[in-house]
Amino acid sequence: MIDLAASQRTSADFFCFETWAITPYKDALLLYCVHDHLEFPEQQDKILTEFLRFHHSVIAIDKPGMGLPMIQTCVRKGLPIKPFEPQADKVVRSTTGSIYYSNGKAYHLKDLLNIAEIEKELFTFPKAPHDDIADCHAMMALVVPQVLRPGVIDLDSDETALDTTLSIEHLKQAEAVTEEQKRIAEEEAKAQEQELFKRGPQVSVFEWAETHEGGSWE
């Protein structure tokens, strides 16, 4: 998620580039955050550098203002760009991000270098001096539901999928229950197969006679 900076002045908003990992259950894990005052060419270089480092599946860039020329430049470089066009103001958009967190669907890497700076801006938004981090978080919450499910889950499988609204705390328990149910079903099927084998072929003598030459019943 990228929120561009229009100026390098310290009073202006920062260039913000957040890298998120998305689990098969649509949990969002913040791995890294670039938060700095950079000129437009430096922002271009930083986007490419971060892409070469993390190999993002999608990079969302806020389209208004400087977004369009940056999007065009990045697309020419072959980067996986997704233009983000906000449909409401920042305060309204941040509500979606807040719900994502309250549902236990968003997490921060505890060893993140600038974790204190990130969380301070989030906790003080919209009264914080800057809103670029909060804007990226809101963008994440709106973009993630549109991103295709990662290939960790076999979508062609006939097995019942886990509830993707579960938070990470519940996944291990849910997976354990699913595995236990699968094991019990396999054991029951195996027991039934062994019982049928012991009983031998179950063929009706009347049906057998009617399907063979000379076999009729009156």
Which CATH number goes with the domain that contains 79? 3.30.420.10
Return the structure tokens found at 48: 């490419």
Single out the residue of 6, 54, 40, 28 nearest to residue 139, CA to CA: 28
Domain extent at residue 206: 168-210
93 and 142 in a common domain: yes
CA 2 – CA 34 distance, rounded (Å): 9
**How far is CA 115 from each of CA 17, 24, 110, 111, 140, rounded to the nearest angstrom?**
14, 25, 7, 8, 17
pTM for the predicted model, two decimal places: 0.61
152 lies in a domain?
no
pLDDT beyond 60 at 130 = yes
**Is residue 126 located within the same domain as residue 180?**
no
Edge-to-edge order in the sheet of strand 106-108: 81-84, 59-62, 2-3, 15-22, 28-36, 106-108
183-200 pLDDT tens trace? 777 787 787 777 766 766
Model pLDDT for residues 43-92, shown as the tens digit of each residue: 999 999 999 999 998 899 888 777 888 999 999 999 998 888 877 677 77
Compute the average pLDDT of residues 164-176.
56
Count up the domains in the chain and report the number. Answer: 2
Confidence bin at 152 (pLDDT 50/70/90): very low
Residue 160 belongs to a domain? no
Average model confidence (pLDDT) across the chain: 76
Q: Write down the pLDDT at residue 52.
A: 92
Cα separation, 4 vs 97, whole angstroms: 19
Q: State the maximum Cα–Cα separation within the chain, in Å, rounded to a whole number.
A: 103
Name the burial class of residue 166, with classes exposed (0-12), middle (13-18) and buried (19+) by CB atoms within 10 angstroms of its CB: middle
What pLDDT sits at residue 167? 55
Positive/negative CA dihedral, 8, 10, 13, 15:
positive
Please give the backbone phi and psi of residue 32, each rounded to the nearest 5 degrees, phi first.
-160, 150
Does 113 lie in the same domain as 29? yes
- The one-letter code for the residue type at 129 is P
